[in-house]
Structure 1
Amino acid sequence: MDMTELETRSKQIRTAYHQLEMQQDGRPWTTEQDALAFMSDAGIVSRLIMDQVGSWPQSQSEFTLDYKIAESIWWLLSIADSTNIDIEKALENFLVSREKHLN
């Protein structure tokens, strides 16, 4: 799957969730709420990693590490979209910057 397809599918899913938020809250979530949801999922990634290496009591989470990592990527794609960031360009710029830094 290429980046364009990831972005398109992520945007479609986020749009569908906005409809659910309208039913629940009377309005779609803000970018700030999306960022908070991402941080919550990033925290779960950390707990699942700690569980995996044995430094946290075994989780009873219904989610797996790969699922939560993927969800975190989805949140980042959604946040980039809502803030008009070209995620592919941003990632390329970041990688070039780090490659230059390490050389």
Structure 2
Amino acid sequence: MDLDELKHQALRIHSLYDRQNQRERGRTWTRTDFMLGFMGDVGDLTKLVMAEEGTRDMPGGRAALEHELADCLWSVIILAPPLRRGP
């Protein structure tokens, strides 16, 4: 998967979350909401990396670490401003 495909997939998932949040909560997440979620994911990722290094006990192992890395990558993609190509 190249970067354009990854971005397209991330934006598709973002749209699905918007629909689910609108249906269940009557509103979609703002950029601030996504940023706060990202910060929580970074905290979880930190704990999982520490567990991987043996400095902390944390359930989930390698699968949880991979999942959290994917969550963080997704957040970075959707929070990033659109890339402009060319001059």
Identity, % of aligned pairs? 26
In structure 2, the residue matched to 1:16 is 16
CA root-mean-square deviation: 1.9
In structure 2, the residue matched to 1:101 is none
Q: Could you tell me which runs of 5 or more consecutive residues in structure 2 were left unpaired when the two chains were aligned.
A: none
Letter in 2 for 1:65: L
Alignment TM-score, normalising by the size of structure 1? 0.73
Matched, 1:68 2:68: yes
Q: Could you tell me which runs of 5 or more consecutive residues in structure 1 were left unpaired when the two chains were aligned.
A: 90-103
Find the aligned partners of 1:23 and 1:74 in 2 and give their Cα distance: 22
More RCO (CA 8 Å, sep 6+): 2
Deviation at 1:17, TM superposition (A): 0.4
Moved segments of 4+, more than 3 Å: none
Q: After the TM superposition, which residues 1-103 of structure 1 pair with which residues of structure 2 at under 5 Å, given as runs?
A: 1-57=1-57, 59-61=58-60, 64-80=64-80, 84-86=81-83
Find the aligned partners of 1:61 and 1:25 in 2 and give their Cα distance: 29
Alignment TM-score, normalising by the size of structure 2? 0.85
